[in-house]
Amino acid sequence: MSAAANAKVGVIFKSYEPMSAIQAYAKQTEESGLAGGFWIAEAYHWFRKYGHESRGCMATLAAAAMVTREIPIGLGITSPYMRHPTTQAAEAVAIDELSGGRFIMGLGAGKVGTEYLEIDQKKFTPVKVHRESIDIIRGIISGEAFRYDGELFRCDVPAVDRTGRGLRTDIPVYVGATGPFMQKLAGKMADGLLLPGLTSPGFTRYARENLAQGFDAANREAPPDYPVGGVILAACSRDGGKARDATRSYTGTYVINKLRNIKNDIILSSSGLPGETWEPFRQALAEGTEDKVTHLVNDDMMRAFTVISGTPDDCVELLQQLVDAGLNLPLMEVVGASQEDNLESIRLLGEEVVPRLRAATI
């Protein structure tokens, strides 16, 4: 795959933020000219461990759609294990209508949210679940009569004139993927690929190789601007130390999440940090102190994961590394200490960071 285009930078928040804050962030994202749009990642009740309360991702997206007019409104991601594909399609139709055709659907396994579900993971493998879910969602959104009799899911849906009602018949569906099989699936059938938290330049290159293999296997031609997005921790401030401190605890939480829920270690190893770096985090997991690992995260670790934190100059340098590696849809997960800090980060990213990025050729 090759690409030679300017990156579109967006903003993403988990759905544990208050609704009023979500609307303020979405409005600021549009006012700051961040063409990658405003995205929501579905938060689960697991985040109560860190003092957060989850909200429904679709209701949260609706709140964002109501205060914006032009930028994309994206879901990055929700899990198809949590809702039947017909329900996912109905939710997508609603958000797309409310936003005036700006919605992007993102599906991913969502290990944190699904670990307590009584699902036979050997039968309901992520590739099967996502492949059948995408087929059903697209079939329903087409508006044509649609019958599906898959290995995992079934549906029989009558036709409706969506075009006549001013509704889209083709909503983009992106796949959130950590492992190689899901990344290849994105190349085979999805409209975009979304990479997880702690995405680094090394992991971006790894994912793009798998994505290209998926395109080849399906005999699809990869568009030069095919979206490759990633969740990137971010805090931008005139006070670089303050910004770095804001992202430190979240970096530790992501490391714990990868060690606890992800079977392969490519996200951690592709950072270039030695394997022994993770031993204190493994020990914290074993001792039940995994919510107290902030002190284990230093500035070098955050730079290795290309955490976009610091002054605007720092953020330009770090973000450019991701763009040069092929991440053309960096989604800034803004994590300041307050709503005011988050709004400042969004403003600075839009006004002083993104305009200075160079186009990448990969």
| Distance from C-alpha of 326 to C-alpha of 228, rounded to nearest angstrom | 7
Q: Give, to the nearest 10 degrees, the angle between helix 201-217 and helix 180-189.
A: 50
| Distance from C-alpha of 4 to C-alpha of 326, rounded to nearest angstrom | 9
Any residues with CB less than 8 A from the CB of 217 and at least 6 apart, and which? 184, 187, 188
Any residues with CB less than 8 A from the CB of 121 and at least 6 apart, and which? none
The one-digit pLDDT tens for each residue of the chain (362 residues) are 444 358 999 999 999 999 999 999 999 999 999 999 999 999 988 788 888 899 999 999 999 999 999 999 999 999 999 899 999 999 999 999 999 999 999 999 977 656 666 677 778 899 999 999 999 999 999 999 999 999 999 999 999 999 999 999 999 999 999 999 999 999 999 999 999 999 999 999 999 999 999 999 999 999 999 999 999 999 999 999 999 999 999 999 999 989 988 766 899 999 999 999 999 999 999 999 999 999 999 999 999 999 999 999 999 999 999 999 999 999 999 999 999 999 999 999 999 999 999 998 65
* 13: alpha, beta or left? (left if phi > 0; alpha if psi -120 to 50): beta
pLDDT at position 15: 96
Cα angle value 313/316/318 (rounded, 5°): 110
CB 187 within 8 A of CB 220: yes
CB 13 within 8 A of CB 25: yes
CB 232 within 8 A of CB 330: yes
pLDDT at position 165: 96
Handedness of CA 294, 300, 301, 306 (dihedral sign): positive
* pTM for the predicted model, two decimal places: 0.95
Any residues with CB less than 8 A from the CB of 75 and at least 6 apart, and which? 39, 40, 41, 42, 57, 58, 61, 95, 103, 104, 105, 106
Class level of CATH domain 4-357: alpha beta
